[in-house]
Amino acid sequence: MDNELIKQCEAKAREWLASPVYDDETKAEVRAMLEGDDKNALVDAFYQSLEFGTGGLRGIMGAGTNRMNKYIVGMATQGFANYILKAFPGQGGLSVVVGHDCRNHGREFAETVANIFSANGIKVYLFESLRPTPEVSFAIRRLGAKAGVNVTASHNPKEYNGYKAYWEDGAQVLAPHDKGIIDEVNNVRVEDVRFQGRPELIEIIGGEMDYDYMTAVREAMIDQEVILRQKDLNIVYSAMHGTGRVIVPLCLRSWGFQNIHVVPEQMVVDGNFPTVVSPNPENAEAMTLGMRLGTRLNADLVVATDPDADRLAIVCRDNKGEWMIINGNQTCMMFCYYIIRNKKALGQLRPTDYLVKTIVTTEVISEMARRNQIELRDCYTGFKWIAREIAISEGKQQYIGGGEESFGFLPYDKVRDKDAPASICLICEIAAWARDNGMTLYDLLMQIYLEYGFSYEHTINVVKPGKSGADEIKAMMENYRRHRPTEIAGSPVVLAKDFATLTQYDAQGNASPLEMPATSNVMQFFCQDGTKVSVRPSGTEPKIKFYLEIKDTMGCPGCYAGCVERARAKVDEVRKSLGI
């Protein structure tokens, strides 16, 4: 390890020990790292300051400049408060909404945030206890707040916590506010933070907002009649120890579903997530208990939410009656298919309606939209970009749904982030409609592939922790830019897109501009055989992500297994081509 780097980290650690701001518990943790023989922990904790990015903060909890703790949260909030006061000069009655999920230190961090905003003269609506991320987004708009914060690390492992920053439209912050907030945060020293709150400016909210949110969720419903006919649909739900535990069953009942069962072990609020390795609905392991209960109860489907209830997971029975996890792309496909088909059948579809997906989400949705003459917009990864599309068309066109491959969907416009409670209600409506038509969700998925073509999506996460990992990820992206592949797995690359320079290149290398609202560190390669490869560093975790999409023709429902087998073999070829 670099001795100079160690010395720099030791110097930062000693500054913490010398400062009167930090409490004794924090100093003891810093002292232990400073005096330990292994300097890795010290370097990881102090080699950089945990960056306040466009979505806020996310990191491992603990002492240090590169860790989530009340001091880092405090500096972020002081900077955020400074920006709000500058953005709305002379305006009285400024307010924010603050929430948190089930993670360790979540309530402590949320109260820290509330105290600092109030100390700066900003009224705070603080949720009484843990609440879903989409409800925080909803509350910002409902209460006319100027901003909001939700303390959550979403689906990350238990060691993490985070801080999602929202603007007055209920969406995570975009330009120019993102840069403005970041600049303010970067100018804050820990000594500048006003930790002493003003209780008279903090209002606790809860039940009434829950009711308003659940009322809004009902607007995502498309066909009440099909739910009433299939109200006994057998549903198993898991809250994954998090914020959906109360609100999701209530929402399902408000839609008319009457046969709802919960996974009792995972209804317990616990930031250590004792029943799963990681509380991520993308991981099959996390769904084990739900599937076990589903088998015992002969359920029609199993659904789950991640800890902050923005992502959802769906498990249905395949053609052999075995449980099958519907992946994020398939989930998005099902939602879009049903929304288009049934709004059209019920006369609810309008020429001004539009759908949104992210650039790394399956192109099957593009084909659906094209054939049905529905406008589809492609945007960057992250729901703030979907929210932007809603905002720029508000009052002119109607948003009818949007999603991304990472198990997130938003079926209505009252919220401006991923919304698992609303999406779970809608997927249960879809399952009810399928059963009403003699199908399962699996049968519906096969029908989509038959109509619009088979597609297999596979995400590869290459984890590179620490400073050396960050440097390696940067070098990998630079290499893909300088040496764009001309073929992948034997198929010529016919189009390459570089979103960092907003330039695209055809097969001959001719460049033309890409129209996007901002630059982003993403590369995409489209092959002659329909293969699509997207490469991007994660914005919240120490990894680089490769999104692969493989195309095939599926002639019959029974051909699915063969298509999957061929696609998996193709994935191996793609990996070799890309050197991963």
Q: CA gyration radius for the chain?
A: 24
Residue 159 has a pLDDT of 96
Give residue-wise pLDDT tens across range 379-408. Answer: 998 899 999 999 999 999 999 999 999 899
Which pLDDT score, from 0 to 100, does residue 538 have? 81
Asked whether residue 256 falls in the same domain as residue 369, the answer is: yes
129 catalytic? Reply is no
Contacts of 572 (CB under 8 A, 6+ apart): none
* Mean pLDDT taken over the chain: 95
- The reply to whether 303 and 186 lie within a common domain is no
Model confidence pLDDT, tens digit, residues 217-241: 999 999 999 999 999 999 999 999 9
The pLDDT of residue 467 is above 80: no
DSSP 144-156: T-SEEEEE--TTS
Last residue of a domain, one of 175, 209, 243: 209
Q: Is the confidence at residue 1, as pLDDT, over 80?
A: no
Write the single-letter amino acid at 548: L
In this structure, the answer to whether residues 40 and 92 fall within a common structural domain is no
Tokens 């416009």 belong to which residue? 413
Q: Is the pLDDT of residue 445 over 80?
A: yes
Token duo for residue 40: 């890795």
Instruction: Supply the pTM of this predicted model.
Output: 0.93
Q: Are residues 150 and 238 in the same domain?
A: no
Looking at residue 175, its pLDDT comes to 86
| Helix/strand/coil for 274 | coil
The tally of domains found in the chain comes to 4
Mean pLDDT confidence for 275-304: 95
- Return the pLDDT at 377: 98
Share of the chain above pLDDT 70, in %: 99
Question: Would you state the pLDDT for residue 282?
Answer: 81
Domain match, 558 and 433 both: no
Tell me if 220 is assigned to some domain.
no
Active-site position among 118, 154, 406, 520: 154
By residue range, what is the domain housing residue 436? 229-452
Least-confidence region, from 2-11, 207-216, 537-546, 556-565: 537-546
- What is the DSSP annotation of 39-107? -HHHHHHHSSPPP-BTTEEEEEBSSSTTSB-HHHHHHHHHHHHHHHHHHSTT-SS-EEEEEE-SSTTHH
Same domain, 416 and 561: no
Q: Give the least confident one: 2-11, 237-246, 538-547.
A: 538-547
Q: Where does the pLDDT of residue 472 fall: very low under 50, low under 70, confident under 90, or very high at 90 and above?
A: confident
**392 in any annotated domain:** yes
Phi, psi (rounded to 5 degrees) for 197: -75, 170
Q: Is residue 100 scored above 80 in pLDDT?
A: yes
Quick one: DSSP state of residue 172?
A: B
Q: Are residues 403 and 272 in the same domain?
A: yes
- Is the per-residue pLDDT at 540 higher than 70? no
